[in-house]
Structure 1
Amino acid sequence: MPHLPDVVLWSVPAFVLLTVVEMVSFRLHPDEEAEGYEAKDAATSVGMGLGSLVFDALWKIPIVAIYAAVYELTPLRVPVLWWTLPLMLLAQDFFYYWSHRGHHVIRVLWACHVVHHSSKKFNLTTALRQPWTTWTVWPFYVPMIALGVHPAAIAFTSGANLVYQFWVHTERIGKLPRPVEFLFNTPSHHRVHHASQGGYLDRNFGGILIIWDRVFGSFVAETERPVYGLTKNIATFNPLRVATHEYAAIARDIRAAGSWSARAGHLFRGPGWRPAATKGAAAGAAQGEARPAVEEPVT
């Protein structure tokens, strides 16, 4: 198959330039409502992004082995051509939607993804706040491999999806023309996704396209100003704690659980789930709540 570039690597200079431009824009034109930048928060986000590069390289070893095995077993082959590549991008975006949605409603997956939502700021460095345990993502793309898409094409389309999402992490861009807002994920749609208000939780999972949310009932338009972060925020800038706090909370809940069904629930039910005996004590948590950081604040 033809060589496909590493779009994330090639985009790093643009990431840096756009982040600097956004920082300068807040200096020159402060916004009373926009959160802007906080040095420790931005440094944590950048640190999480750099750490994710290291850990992703480790996770890729077994994941590539599994993908390669599936690819060798399937008799199907999809060539990388000028007209098949857009179809691969469309398919990857579809499976990304379900991966992203799954990582909000299954707690053990949320433990990975919560990292990206842990900042109370919303700016371009937030896009860099990536998890270190992305081994939870690979199963969602196995169908594409089984249909004959080469693993390298999956890597390329996933990188393109990630690069696209960088620019939607900003408060400096308002709503765009209606056709763009209807079809694509935009800063307005993604602000909703990062909000912690009840009406905004578990909404707007799309990567490049927002049409999946419209089709599958998870779309909400931006109306009131979002409040960013978790429903119970963690007061730490320690990258290791940011990366692992929800796994630690799951471990505590499993140790305290009184039955195997409760232990399974803490792993595979929603992040806000509690066993029946303790639901009364957790009545303040909304049913199906997507972003409770159950760990107590740390420093």
Structure 2
Amino acid sequence: MQKEKFTLEQVLNMDLPNIILYAAPVMFILVGLEWYFSYKRKQNFYDAKDTLAATTIGLVNVAISAAIKVVTFSIILYFYNVVPWSIPATWWSFILCLIWIDFWRYWAHRIAHENRFWWATHVTHHNSEKYNWSVSFRLGWTQHIKIVFFIPVVLVGFHPVVFFICHQIEVLYQFWIHTEYIRKLPRPIEYVFTTPSHHRVHHARNEKYLDKNYGSTFIIWDRLFGTFQPEEEQADYGITKPVNSYNPITLCFHEWADIVKDVRNSRSLKEAYTMVFARPSKLELKKKEFEKVKL
């Protein structure tokens, strides 16, 4: 049986459900409730300027996603149509696609922490020193280029509709794990799924917590690949080099600006390459090594 191929026009006319859009009112209500309880209990989980910055970043991101929708769909369809095989859109294909997307989200997320170029697309999500549901809105405006990491998902042959729905579910899952109010859950859940406890570790700048718990929906990838860290001491949130700004443009582009500055100040191609692609947590050490060579 010959595989059915899709045109961009066909997919755009499918009226795919926008799960995130439907969930948005609930998300904003929950943010409001969490903020209220934080205020009433004097827990200082929220900062008005920080939340406004996060919301602005999130809304602009929605606009960017809409603006590049045709490009995104075109990339996914191109690679789906290239391979001669396909997986039918059935209940079990949704489960398999969700797991496969999550596997690649783990590696995309890990690379975004261990490679400075990709870190620049992701740092916006981490430069808040608060941890609450509004932080889930802070997604850098250049993070859309990470679509390249999901081409392997499409090459397996998952139906485009299955892919787009599962990807939305993965993104939506990230919302609920950004909170202090949900503590550790029963052990079976904590062992398999990424929970608020795991993700608090991921957002911390405590030395023992750096570069840990990259899992999106499933924490099993961290357990398999040696990046798992249980929550022990209280997390200190933010990045190791604070931005000290609530300006959305600064929050989204400060790392890119620093990369350009470091490349301009480089004395060799090797140094310039290192300034772009070094592991962020090792960057200061690398800079000191190059300074010694200059002396």
* Moved >6 Å (runs of 4+): none
State the match for 1:166 in structure 2: 175
- 1:87-135 per-position Cα deviation (integer Å, ceiling 9, x unaligned): 1111111111011101101111100100000100001111111110123
Question: May I ask how many residue pairs the two structures share in their alignment?
Answer: 279
Tell me if structure 1 keeps the 8 A contact 2:271–2:290. no
Change (3 A) 1:89 1:260: same
Pair 1:229–1:276, CA change in 2 (3 A)? closer
Q: 1:13 to 1:218 in 2, by over 3 A?
A: same
- Contact 1:174-1:188 within 8 A present in 2 as well: yes
1:1-299 counterparts in 2 under 5 A? 4-31=16-43, 35-271=44-280, 272-273=282-283, 278-279=288-289
Query: Are the counterparts in 1 of residues 93 and 158 from structure 2 also a CA contact under 8 Å?
Result: no
The answer as to whether partners of 2:194 and 2:219 remain within 8 angstroms in 1 is yes
The alpha carbon displacement at 1:256 in A equals: 0.5
The residue type equivalent to 1:46 in the other structure is: T
Per the alignment, in what secondary structure is the counterpart of residue 25 of structure 1? helix
CA distance in 1, matches of 2:73, 2:119: 23
CA distance in 2, matches of 1:76, 1:179: 36
Counterpart residue type for residue 148 of structure 1: G
CA contact (8 A) 2:93 2:162 kept: no
Task: Measure the CA separation in 1 of the matches of 2:287 and 2:62.
Answer: 42
- TM-score normalised according to structure 2 size: 0.89
Q: Is the 2:199–2:213 contact (alpha carbons within 8 Å) kept by the matching residues of 1?
A: yes
Can you list the C-alpha shifts for 1:121-163, whole angstroms capped at 9, x where unaligned?
0011111111101233111111111111233432221211111
Query: What residue identity is the alignment partner of 1:232?
Result: K
Q: CA 1:228–1:275 in 2, change beyond 3 Å: closer, same or farther?
A: closer
The structure-2 alpha-carbon separation of the partners of 1:281 and 1:38, relative to structure 1 and needing over 3 Å to count, comes to farther
User: 1:258/1:152 Cα in 2 relative to 1: closer, same or farther (>3 Å)?
Assistant: farther
Structure 2 Cα separation of the partners of residues 91 and 18 of structure 1? 29
**Residue 293 of structure 1 corresponds to which residue in structure 2?**
none
The amino acid that maps onto 2:229 is V
Offset of residue 21 of structure 1 = 1.5
SS at match of 1:137: helix
Distance 2:69 2:189 in 1: 34
Shift of 1:26: 1.5
CA gap 1:59/1:253 in 2 versus in 1, 3 angstroms: farther
Query: Percent identity at matched positions?
Result: 37
Question: What's the offset of the Cα at 1:275?
Answer: 8.1
Letter in 2 for 1:27: Y
CA contact (8 A) 1:266 1:274 kept: no
Counterpart of 2:30 in structure 1: which amino acid? L
Measure how far apart 1:214 and its partner are.
Answer: 0.6
The range that moved more, 89-98 or 148-157, is 148-157
Specify whether residues 151 and 266 from structure 1 end up closer, same or farther in structure 2 by C-alpha distance, changes over 3 A only. Answer: farther
Structure 2: segments with no counterpart, 5+ residues? 1-10
Q: With structure 1 as the length reference, what TM-score do the two structures score? A: 0.88
- The Cα shift of 1:252 comes to 0.2
Q: Is the 8 A contact 1:23 1:37 kept in 2?
A: yes
The offset of 1:67, in angstroms, is 2.0
CA separation in 1, counterparts of 2:36 and 2:284?
A: 45
Q: Which runs of 5+ in 1 are unaligned?
A: 283-299
Q: 1:185 to 1:38 in 2, by over 3 A?
A: same
Q: Check conservation: 1:56, 1:134, Cα contact below 8 A.
A: no
Hey, what does 2:5 align to over in structure 1?
Answer: none
Structure 1 residues 16 and 253: CA distance shift in structure 2, 3 A: same
Residue 268 of structure 1, CA deviation: 1.9
| Amino acid in the other structure paired with 2:19 | V
Does structure 1 conserve the Cα–Cα contact (< 8 Å) formed by 2:79 and 2:154?
yes
